[in-house]
Structure 1
């Protein structure tokens, strides 16, 4: 009995040394942390706090519909493991609310991020509903948002970088879906990410970039993988007329359709959308059959794909050789 009690105290001390000194709050669904739910920890962050609030989340599946409100800025969520620390919910667009109304696409999201200067590391964000309806895993409207080593799991409309003017950076992430699974108005850079197209879908991106914005979705050194049939998946289609999506030095799998891009059956959008590739490779990267209205960027045009142009005055902390050499 005495040995067991000493062992318990020793374990608690080790836990404090590992987690307690480095983070403001610890979340553990099993009860050993400061909170058992992530939302409870978020709710205790002082509104409009200027300093970072770090929240460590221990392994487990947290089934909660999580909201980071606009007045909770500078929050960093750190998972214990990107594959074993999971935030999951299963709402979907056609599900009814208490008033008998559809939740809608935005209402289906498992996680809402409205605050500025939010960072997530080593977490999985999931909408587990599956096929049959739009079902968002994460909706992001905050500005200067970073996801590092995170996973996004869903089917249709997995990741929603929603708000125009929002700047978002995704580094070493895994994003999975089938139809339009990266979509929205925001300016978002995806670097060193794996983009996995699930069988049953046809389109990766559905940007809705505003006409006045120079950049929409930018993929850099990403790997596009799939379990879909060969030559069955398009790189993107324009949700709105001025959609902008660019792939730079990406590896395309065999699943990419030879035409590359789709016009959403609206030929007039071929005149306004900007879809481009530069230095991409792999079996799906052949440009012989690409639609004529897409673009091949030149080395000279690449000068504009730097953080200081894409994100204006914000340069995320990044190990990118491409961006670090071009931000002075």
Structure 2
């Protein structure tokens, strides 16, 4: 019990401390109104309250003098009955339906089910670390909007035996979908150079994953786009250092990419952030990040990417960039031998940060033919799987 209270106190401290949280992160958390109403039921319900009962949501009856029943505005006849292709589980912190935690709903999904299990998650912040194992395929997390539904935890590389294990949510299964929900890591925001402070919001390590209208909130290493083919559409992704990293093959369309690195005074040449760190290690790996029709802004003075591994591959196309992008644009991880093998391309981008005249020599200004393979879902073989969703 003690550690849960400590977590809650830490989260309240983070939420209330505008010196730690800057910009969108702070306003995002402020949009979760009545923080106490969110946290107190979490503490009381976390004491083994994970039982579930399908099809018959229990409605808590108001006690004497209790003016309202918190479940009254809950949709009637929810969750809907199973079909041949879908099963719906329902998660609500207040106990108005099957489950009070996201993890307990995941645990109840049948192993290797051919049906899609829609885990419908009611508004609120769910303070829990969630793991979707390889055996739980075809799961959808359906939130009520990325500014009103979130899963949050506060592990770091130090607290979890490595960056790769620090994710608030970790997904190892195939065919995962998330809609209208946020993934947050609320660990303290590190300074550049801090050791062990990397704090992942989500790690996505299964194939054929889709994120629609989702939010990703953290600082260093927010989104671990680890491996597999993934599609991100209309998402909001915030961080400071390498905040989209991994070795997946992913297409990001119409996404907001927001740097929360500390503001840098005009004229200073310091770099304090990077959007991407793609981890392709050999020419035989079929991976890369493609950003199409995105908006890139925020604070700091940052690179579009740095070459975490020698064959790092990232393309920005038709993307608007503010002046937070440093003129050289990219970094080879201070290893000039990587300049021959990395693939960093830009295509028809706009905004003050897109000026390519001072770009590093290995950066490619792509023509129409070179850009084409990166511009739509064929980059992730979407014709084979994406339209099924």
Q: CA deviation at 1:105?
A: 0.5
Q: CA deviation at 1:314?
A: 3.0
- Report the TM-score when normalising by structure 1: 0.87
| Root-mean-square deviation (Å) | 2.4
> What do the CA deviations read for 1:296-319 (whole angstroms, capped 9, x no partner)?
111112332243343275342499
Match of 1:105 among 163, 166, 169: 163
Is 2:205 the partner of 1:145?
no
Q: Which runs of 5+ in 2 are unaligned?
A: 1-61, 191-196, 263-271
Cα pair distance change 1:33/1:68, threshold 3 Å: same
Secondary structure of 1:157's counterpart equals coil
Is 2:251 the partner of 1:189?
yes
In 2: Cα distance, 1:237 partner to 1:18 partner: 47
In 2: Cα distance, 1:227 partner to 1:10 partner: 41
Q: CA deviation at 1:28?
A: 0.3
Is 2:188 the partner of 1:117?
no
Match of 1:217 among 272, 279, 289: 289
**Which residue of structure 1 aligns with residue 384 of structure 2?**
314
- 8 Å contact 1:92–1:108 — kept in the other structure? yes
Q: CA deviation at 1:227?
A: 2.2
- Report the TM-score when normalising by structure 2: 0.74
**Which residue of structure 1 aligns with residue 369 of structure 2?**
300
- 8 Å contact 1:28–1:57 — kept in the other structure? yes
- 8 Å contact 2:241–2:261 — kept in the other structure? no
In 1: Cα distance, 2:99 partner to 2:370 partner: 50
Cα pair distance change 1:303/1:128, threshold 3 Å: same
Cα pair distance change 1:120/1:10, threshold 3 Å: closer
In 2: Cα distance, 1:25 partner to 1:247 partner: 38
**Which residue of structure 2 aligns with residue 282 of structure 1?**
351
Deviates more, 1:232-241 or 1:207-216: 207-216
**Which residue of structure 1 aligns with residue 137 of structure 2?**
73
Secondary structure of 1:314's counterpart equals helix
Match of 2:261 among 181, 186, 199: 199
**Which residue of structure 2 aligns with residue 322 of structure 1?**
none
- 8 Å contact 1:276–1:295 — kept in the other structure? yes
- 8 Å contact 1:307–1:315 — kept in the other structure? no
**Which residue of structure 1 aligns with residue 324 of structure 2?**
255
Q: CA deviation at 1:82?
A: 1.3
Secondary structure of 1:129's counterpart equals coil
- 8 Å contact 2:102–2:121 — kept in the other structure? yes
Match of 1:266 among 335, 338, 341: 335
- 8 Å contact 2:144–2:180 — kept in the other structure? yes
> What do the CA deviations read for 1:125-178 (whole angstroms, capped 9, x no partner)?
000003231111101110000010000000100000112xx0011100000000
Q: CA deviation at 1:19?
A: 5.0
Q: CA deviation at 1:51?
A: 1.2
**Which residue of structure 2 aligns with residue 227 of structure 1?**
299
In 1: Cα distance, 2:360 partner to 2:286 partner: 22
- 8 Å contact 1:175–1:196 — kept in the other structure? yes
Q: Which runs of 5+ in 1 are unaligned?
A: 96-101, 320-328
> What do the CA deviations read for 1:263-283 (whole angstroms, capped 9, x no partner)?
111111111110000010011
In 2: Cα distance, 1:206 partner to 1:277 partner: 16
In 1: Cα distance, 2:104 partner to 2:241 partner: 33
In 2: Cα distance, 1:58 partner to 1:41 partner: 13
> What do the CA deviations read for 1:177-205 (whole angstroms, capped 9, x no partner)?
00011111110111000000112342110
> What do the CA deviations read for 1:35-80 (whole angstroms, capped 9, x no partner)?
0000001111110000111111001111111001100110011001
